Amino acid sequence: MKPDVFRFTSQPRLEKPSLIVGWMKDIGAVSRGVADFLARAAGGRSFCRIEPTDFFSVDGVKVESNIATFPQSRFFHDERNNVLLLRSDEPRSRRYEFLNAVLDVAEHYKTERLYTIDGITSMIAHTSPRRAFGVFNDAEVRRKLKLHLPVGLNWQGPPHMSTYLLWLARQRKLEAAGLWVEVPFYLSERRDDQAIRAGVSLLGHILGWDYDAAELDRRASEQEAKLGELRAENPEIDERIQRLEQGESLDESEQAELTEAIQGALKGHG
């Protein structure tokens, strides 16, 4: 691995671990929420970072309340559960080199399988169970994970960063699966705690860990309660959500109005 790309602070001892990749911005904050949870569950032990100089531009810096937030790409480890985690902003340039750097780390630790996790917008109500869809870089991976991901994803368009990573992993003969968790369209620009909880639970079933998810359960319950209050206060919003619960679709104006109302109700939550 190129020494100018990586900064190691330690070398964890792992035996053919799984690598989970979480991006800091996506639909429903699913990827970030799962990555944040796993980083804390692993004890916050970051052992390596990818230097940002070659991959992020100055306009990638965000300032809020006079505090500058810089792009980061950090690897964490959990030796007890034999897991590696990458918690990262998406690169703004030289993406091919960045993703290959991620795979260099995977190869260095003889990673058995790579997982990405993201949110995907869906015409469902927030009261609906969050289904998860699978995208695989090999038919054998699909067979192995069929029990956990029985529904595949059909989609055509520009490749997502996670999809591109799966393709590059295939070139390295590394098994990889993309996990996509449903997010109601009106929560796509916010944090969907139900979807994050579903993503953590799915990975737990696949990998067999037993992290305490009480905090995720609490946040998901709070989200549900706030949206329940909105439905009780606004019969029109309740009617539209009922239509979604019954499997109906909303037109564009109805979607926009529902989204605006939901955003206001959840202001300050997540």
Same domain, 191 and 255: no
Same domain, 147 and 52: yes
Same domain, 47 and 177: yes
Distance of alpha carbon 35 from alpha carbon 107, whole angstroms: 21
Domain count within the chain: 2
Domain boundaries, position 253? 218-265
Same domain, 65 and 183: yes
Same domain, 223 and 127: no
Distance of alpha carbon 75 from alpha carbon 238, whole angstroms: 43
Each residue's pLDDT tens digit, 72-93: 899 999 988 999 999 999 998 8
Most confident range, picked from 92-101, 114-123, 221-230: 114-123
- The pLDDT confidence band at residue 5, using thresholds 50, 70 and 90, is confident
Same domain, 176 and 142: yes
Each residue's pLDDT tens digit, 123-173: 999 999 999 999 999 999 999 999 999 877 776 666 789 999 999 999 999
Same domain, 253 and 193: no
* Mean per-residue pLDDT, 53-66: 64
Helices and strands: H and E segment counts in the chain:
8, 10
Same domain, 125 and 53: yes
The reported pLDDT for the residue numbered 86 is 96
Same domain, 166 and 196: yes
Residue 57 reports pLDDT greater than 60: yes
Mean pLDDT of the chain: 89
> Whole-structure pTM over 0.85, yes or no?
yes
What distance, in Å, lies between the first and last C-alpha atoms of the chain?
A: 37
What is the percent of the chain with per-residue pLDDT over 70, rounded to a whole number?
91
Q: Which of 195, 212, 229 is the last residue of a domain?
A: 212
The reported pLDDT for the residue numbered 2 is 67
Residue 1 counted as domain residue:
no
- The pLDDT confidence band at residue 65, using thresholds 50, 70 and 90, is low
Q: Which of 191, 212, 233 is the last residue of a domain?
A: 212
Residue entry with tokens 């949870």: 37
Same domain, 200 and 250: no
